[in-house]
Amino acid sequence: MVKYKMMTLLLVLVLVLSACSGNKVINEPKPTSTPTNNVDTNKDDPKTDPVETEGTPLELAYQGAYKGKTVSMFGPFVDEDEVKFLDAIAEFEETTGIDIQYEGSKEFEATIGVRIEGGNAPDISDFPQPGLLSTFVSQGKVIDVSTFLDVEKLKGNYNQSWLDMASMKGPNGDIMAGVWNRSSVKSLVWYPKKQFDEAGYTVPTTWDELLALTEQIAADGDTAWAIGIESGAATGWPATDWIEDIMLRTTSAENYDKWVTGELKFTDPIVKNAFEKMSEIWLNPDYVYGGTKSIVTTSFGDSVLPMFKTPADAWLHRQASFITSFFPEGVTAGVDYDWFYLPPIDPQYGSPVLVAGDIYAMHNDRPEVRAVMEFFTTGESIKKWVQSGGVIAPMNDVSLDWYPSEAERRMGELVQNASTLRFDGSDLMPGAVGAGTFWKGTTDYVSGTVTLDQALSEIAAGYNN
């Protein structure tokens, strides 16, 4: 009996020693912010295979530290955009073992607030409108990504303007509210290249040269500009883009930011000057195809078509990079059409670029979520999307050779070399203004139903709603 007891004790001792020898500390980064939804569904995931190593969250991910973990993401990408996004992240998921479960919705703006307020925030949200994101930042429901990302590395990979635009006011001061991953360029003027060259016209590099070209085309018996702002309930938004571009060229970026927040009033002479600059072109019926009155009734998508007539009925169209989706089938970039940068007006404000884009924000703080956010700061995270066309990357480590066309390559270069970048102002303003009085007031002014001073007062009143 004693013999069996001795054997039992020896077995217990061996098991205890074995367990102790296998108990090693895993080096994983610890959350420093309070998550808004701290339920970790991966806690007991049997597929997880942690490793003993050191590094940033992304480096740990590539070494297998978060294999089997799941990161949820919610955003506006649907249809073709969703396919391109999923294709761009597929290799990362395969290499790291992290499953990024993306959910896209056309009702993102309406749904994201419900989810956050209801305690069901995704790990990461994709905000195409930074103004909406700032609302949640002010409520303390977004994690400051500068608490774990290398800010100096970010400064090396982004134009400082992108980082400035990611800074938003939280309950306890400014935070870095997210990272920029996809952008489009707005400061572009499109033209029918082959016919343009054959006519002997040259691309302007200053505002005065642009006006001179406009007058030259009129003197030749044509109208220079193809302009239309009809867009259903959103009629007027193309006009606001013009004003935003001109504001960046006639005043400082600091004043632009104050204008967006309402500190610089629409009735201020600085803003009025921007409208007057636009009016030099828009309100001259000799400069606009169909005359000034056609601007309000012409769909923004259809407004480009006169450029593709033979001979061209119009020669210039200012619009963002997405407008090629409305070009006729069969036309070729670099042959049938091309673009040039909307020229600067006042040299002291450099070569600013108006952009739109997507900023990814983080709501739940876990190591694998940090890894995915760090991944989104790299050009690799958007490489396949860039190669497939239709998107411009905000990061500097994106090779210009990745772009599928010369036109897009030049856009990528424009973004990388811009002296100042600023987001579409109407998307940053309160909804009552940016998607309300700004659209309507500008439309009323262009249509001639109100004076400029009346329109500016009408727009400014939106800040009181």
What pLDDT does 346 receive?
Answer: 96
pTM, full prediction: 0.83
Q: Are 141 and 365 in contact (CB under 8 A)?
A: no
From the list 314, 307, 305, 319, the residue with the least C-alpha distance to 356 is: 319
- Predicted pLDDT of residue 53: 63
HSE at residue 241, side-chain half, CA atoms within 13 A, is 24
Q: What is the mean pLDDT of each run of 10 residues along the chain (465 residues)?
A: 38 37 35 39 43 82 97 94 96 98 92 94 94 92 97 96 95 97 96 97 98 98 97 95 98 96 97 98 97 96 96 97 92 95 96 95 98 98 94 95 94 93 93 93 97 98 88
pLDDT confidence of residue 431: 85
CA distance 187 to 173: 32
pLDDT of 16 reads 35
Q: What angle do CA 124, 376, 37 make, to 5 degrees?
A: 20
- CA triplet 136, 178, 416: central angle to 5 degrees? 135
- Find out whether 188 and 320 touch, Cβ atoms under 8 Å: yes
Phi and psi, residue 361, nearest 5°: -110, 155
Contact 108, 58 (CB under 8 A): no
Contact 442, 240 (CB under 8 A): yes
Query: Can you give the pLDDT at residue 281?
Result: 98
Q: Which two tokens stand for residue 350?
A: 């450099």
Helix (H) / strand (E) element for 273: namely: helix 269-282
Alpha-carbon distance of 55 to 259, in angstroms, equals: 42
Task: Report DSSP state, residue 55.
Answer: S
Whole-number CA gyration radius for the chain: 27
Q: How far apart are CA 84 and CA 390, in angstroms?
A: 10
pLDDT of residue 465: 75
Amino acid 6 reads M
